[in-house]
Amino acid sequence: MSRYRAAVSTRLVVLVSGGGTNLQALLDASADPAYGVQVVAVGADRDGIEGLARAHRAGIPTFVVPVADFADRDGWDAALTDAVAGYEPKLVVSAGFMKVVGKRFLERFAMVNTHPALLPAFPGAHAVRDALAYGVRVTGCTVHLVDGGVDTGPIIDQRAVVVRSDDDESTLHERIKSVERELLVDIVGRMSRSGWQVNDRKVVLGE
Ligand code: GRF
């Protein structure tokens, strides 16, 4: 099979707050030059997480900007913006990053988020628990552009996952995450290689 190699890899900063399996999927994909993505740094809002350890093992620079280190949210947002800007990314990926970034950050960077539910259903930090509690039979994941709200930005793509009668939050989330990782890798690669456009809420990828 012949492979097209992207002329220049797109610089990506990934933000994490936890285990970082979505980050790992991006790191694994970016090992192939044809994927067209270079993860130039990994940032977090807390230390001591597996997501940062994954970056260390891959030899990728990391930075940590905890909200508690700042007098207010604006100060944190400014520091996060500066930390990310130092790596000059074309795209920032929130891969399980459990903080809402502010206006300053979003004026400067395009940002993609992955969410473990079919938005606009079940936004927020407990999407899998909320979907189970509501009793939905089908849920899934959403990759979307980030705007100023909580999981409200334009949807890029979604995948459905069927809820089993014996699912608990953990089994369902693991099944969602295996679909989520594939979707995120696909979308980030396509955006990086071919760009994107947003018309109203419709996101059109270049390939
Ligand atoms: C993902 O399901 C993400 O959508 C949610 O938290 C999970 C993070 O998983 N916000 P991981 O840290 O990438 O393993």
Res 43: pLDDT: 98
Examine the pLDDT at 3 and tell me if it is beyond 70. no
**177 vs 42, 101, 118, 174, CA distance in Å?**
20, 23, 13, 5
Dist. CA 143–CA 114, nearest whole Å? 4
pLDDT in tens, 37-85: 999 999 999 999 999 999 999 999 999 999 999 999 999 999 999 999 9
Rounded Cα gap, residues 105 and 111, in angstroms: 9
Testing ligand 1's pocket by substitution, the residue of 169, 180, 181 carrying the most ligand atoms inside 8 A of its CB is 180
140 in contact with ligand 1, CB cutoff 6 A: no
- Global pTM reads 0.95
The answer to whether the CB of 177 is under 6 A from ligand 1 is yes
Q: What is the pLDDT of residues 85-134, one digit of tens each?
A: 999 999 999 999 999 999 999 999 999 999 999 999 999 999 999 999 99
180 CB near ligand 1 (under 6 Å): yes
Ligand 1 atom with the smallest distance to the CA of 177 is 2
Q: What angle do CA 150, 154, 202 make, to 5 degrees?
A: 165
To which H or E segment does residue 10 belong?
strand 10-16
Is the separation of the CB atoms in 42 and 55 below 8 Å? yes
Binding site membership of 123 for ligand 1 (Cβ less than 6 Å): no
| Element containing residue 65 per DSSP (H, E) | none
Q: What is the mean pLDDT of the chain?
A: 96
Residues 6+ apart with CB under 8 A from 193: 6, 10, 35, 36, 206, 207
pLDDT band at 1 (very low <50, low <70, confident <90, very high): very low
Predicted confidence at residue 7, as pLDDT, reads: 62
Q: Which atom of ligand 1 is nearest to the CA of 181?
A: 13
